[in-house]
Chains A and B, each alone.
Chain A
């Protein structure tokens, strides 16, 4: 009953929701970053699925978008984990509800 594209979109929506849930509910900053990575991956799955089943796949637009998105996500992961390590060195914790120095 469902088209193949709808199946892929539903899987991507589920992965996105799981990543969002992880980013919003976990205490540890590293898991929050992993959740963000999962959300980015779900977006990539959407892009590739639309490239595969949409019109004009020979233009490679969706695929290029996914490739650039993977590269930007890698840069984001490097900077994010570097920030986590820097914060750990300052406060000796990676638990986000203990890092409240900017609270007024």
Chain B
């Protein structure tokens, strides 16, 4: 395990923890951007250049901006009066800890069955493009349809209803 992996893991986990724990929503949005960047760098560390840069474009470029816009539009920068955690936070924490315990146990207990390929696989943008318009062309088209429908749906849902104003 390289030291770079540990560094990126610490940055990612710190960003994720700060997202969940910070009070101000704008700080949460900044922290989740750090976590997304750490995950993108982990993808690059795993020799998945295309997915790493797609992660930077989609998450840091689009999703983080969407989150900031949603915070601004909902006046989320005001601090809530009753604290940021819900009344059943202990139950939620217990469920999350139980899920992590099961996942971590499964990973640690299955050391001999884990595959370990050491030679670096090559996945250039050329290979991915050929695969996308070859074997995966039907999922790609369905995804295009889904994205169009989701974008139109999001606009319609969030659209101002003029009749109900005033």
Contacts and interface: CB of A to CB of B under 8 A. Distances in A.
Interface of A: 2-11, 13-28, 30-31, 33-35, 37-38, 41, 44-45, 48-55, 57-58, 60, 63-64, 66-68, 70-79, 81-86, 88-89, 94-97
Contact of A52 (B46, B71, B88): B46
Describe A's contact surface by its main secondary structure.
helix
Contacts of B25: 28, 30-31
B158 A86 contact: yes
Contacts of A20: 95-96, 99
Contact of A82 (B47, B91, B154): B154
Contacts, number: 252
Interface residues on B, range: 35 or more
B20 A11 contact: no
B1 A7 contact: yes
A84 B121 contact: no
Given A9-B107, A34-B28, A48-B48, 17 more contacts: A4-B5, A7-B1, A7-B5, A13-B104, A18-B13, A37-B59, A41-B59, A44-B39, A44-B55, A51-B121, A53-B116, A55-B115, A70-B54, A71-B143, A72-B143, A79-B157, A84-B74
